[in-house]
Structure 1
Amino acid sequence: MPATEILQNVTSKFGTLEDDVDVSRFLEGVSKYYGFEFYSVAIIPQNEPRRFPQHNLATNWPSELITQFEKKNLIDSGPLISMIRSTSVPFVYNVSNKPAGGDLLSGSESLNELLQRYSLGYSALFPVCDNLGNRACVSFSGEREDLTTAEFLELFLISTYFQDRMSSINRHLAEGKESPLSQRELECLRWSAEGKTSSEISQIMSLSEHTINYYLVSAARKLDAVNRIQAVAQSIREGWI
């Protein structure tokens, strides 16, 4: 199929994207078409340290990999983040090609091992901006051969247009939409977004750990989220926390 036809087919679907479910299906479709298994759309962290849920706008990364990224502090100071921060040019990160350079090389060994373990050995990353100038990164990962130049350019255009559409979706969803969560559930999610464990949140809120877990599970259930990470990400997008 010619590149122009591919792009027309993909971009014609942007207008039908209205919520998180549509976004996930769209990204899964693009990933599969280009031979990738995983996708991620994330805010590019600047000076303020954040946890993964606060960066993440949409992803199907394995939850275990996300946990490892947080434990190894690869969210705010890892080699991939350093590369994304330092450029607005799309690039490929391939664990088969060890990156050259002092700091990057010294910090990339554990990252490469992690990515290989979870089958994200080859990633195409596209730093993008929405129509308000907010910086983000759209990435596609998996185990495949190098992208052709045509494929790379197609994904770059798709990522650019997609991020602009996603920004519009998030603003629309946030307008006048009230949170279905209780104040206690929201407070638990706020602390969880700061990286606090259930045990730590229980001490902060002077409640039992069992009660904290109940609030977190309840919040996830109300939001149809599979876990607390997804519940936190959704609440941040909606502007509730």
Structure 2
Amino acid sequence: MTFSTGHTLDLREFDALVGPSVHFVSALQVSVDRVLRRPGPCPALTRREREVLRWAAIGKTSWEISLILGISERTVNFHVQGACRKLGVPGRRAACARAVALGLVAV
């Protein structure tokens, strides 16, 4: 990352800027890594987890998905939780987004 200015800095001004600049760049890198999730091994979701996430990604509730797939609502939530764990995300929306981004689910 490059920072530039149109005027000459006194050495005392430069010293005061180095620490915050390094901190800013480090925080930015962590944030970019978190957003982009640098590619690693793609998690292996089961066929049912992918199916449940596909329906969830288009806005279906657990109850609606249970009717569509002919399984209990509790089983739908079980598959969503399993997918969340494998994808390393905290919830249903994040699991859907990550699965779509990784190409595991097509909507």
TM-score, normalised on structure 2?
0.64
Q: What is the letter of the counterpart of residue 184 of structure 1?
A: R
Q: Is the 8 A contact 2:66 2:76 kept in 1?
A: yes
Matched, 1:23 2:30: no
Per-residue CA distance 1:142-194 (angstroms, 9 max, x = gap): xxxxxxxxxxxxxxxxxxxxxxxx4xx66xx27xx443211101111111100
Structure (1/2) with the larger strand percentage: 1
Give the alignment of 1:30-69 within 5 angstroms.
58=35
Say if 1:12 and 1:207 are closer, same or farther in 2 by CA, change over 3 A: closer
Q: What is the letter of the counterpart of residue 228 of structure 1?
A: R
**Distance of 2:60 and 2:27 partners within structure 1:** 39
CA RMSD of aligned residues (A): 3.3
**Distance of 1:4 and 1:12 partners within structure 2:** 18
Q: What is the letter of the counterpart of residue 4 of structure 1?
A: S
User: What residue number does 1:237 align with?
Assistant: 101
| Runs (5+) with no aligned partner, structure 1 | 25-57, 59-165
User: What residue number does 1:4 align with?
Assistant: 4
**Distance of 1:180 and 1:210 partners within structure 2:** 22
SS of residue paired to 2:4: helix
Say if 1:193 and 1:4 are closer, same or farther in 2 by CA, change over 3 A: same
**Distance of 2:42 and 2:90 partners within structure 1:** 21
Q: What is the letter of the counterpart of residue 60 of structure 2?
A: K
Q: Is the 8 A contact 2:43 2:86 kept in 1?
A: no
Match of 1:213 among 73, 77, 81: 77
| Runs (5+) with no aligned partner, structure 2 | 6-16
Give the alignment of 1:192-211 within 5 angstroms.
192-211=56-75
Q: Is the 8 A contact 2:54 2:96 kept in 1?
A: yes
Work out the number of aligned pairs and report it. Answer: 89
Say if 1:216 and 1:12 are closer, same or farther in 2 by CA, change over 3 A: closer
SS of residue paired to 1:4: coil
TM-score, normalised on structure 1?
0.31
Greater length-normalized contact order (CA 8 Å, ≥ 6 residues apart) = 2
